[in-house]
Structure 1
Amino acid sequence: SAKGILVCGTGIGMCMGANKVFSIRAALCHNTYTARYAKQHNNANVLCLGARVISEKVGLECVETWLKGDFLGKKYARRMDYLDIIEEHSFQRKK
């Protein structure tokens, strides 16, 4: 499935904008812990980073961790189902 990595000063604006797009689950990460769990527990398909708040080294570690990660499914699939319902409802209202 498609993945994306977005970088701006803080990562906040990119993350907010990305999450306005249907089927995007963007996560703003500041360390490998958040990058790992963004993928494993929340099935994030877009990683957002803030170039002014983390070092290049940490940013690269986040990218590597996130790209290597896999969604753990099962226990967390229900969470994705809820997000899908919210997303479907939200996008229907905008039509």
Structure 2
Amino acid sequence: MAEEYSYPIDVDWTTEEVIDVVQFFEAVEAAFDNGINSRVFKERYDRFKIVVPSKAEEKTIFRDFKQSSGMEAYQAVKQLKDMEEDVTIKV
């Protein structure tokens, strides 16, 4: 995507944690663009949750991402939780 927005990144995260969060948001973008395999999305979301275990912090980060990108990460996560494994998530 050639969109001009930034990812919500915490300066206290390690480089690996930043990569995990960015890869999760790239997966959200894929879900909005062309769809993404639920297994791949779940792996990225699980890594994101290791970095951001708090539900309150997740909501804040999702809100910041939506304000920046216009994409609602929660919609993709909700689809993941409602679907069977190994299907395509498309928002």
TM-score, normalised via structure 2 length: 0.31
Q: Which has the larger radius of gyration?
A: 1
- Higher strand fraction (1 or 2): 1
Greater RCO, CA 8 A, separation 6+: 2
Could you say which structure has the higher helix fraction? 2
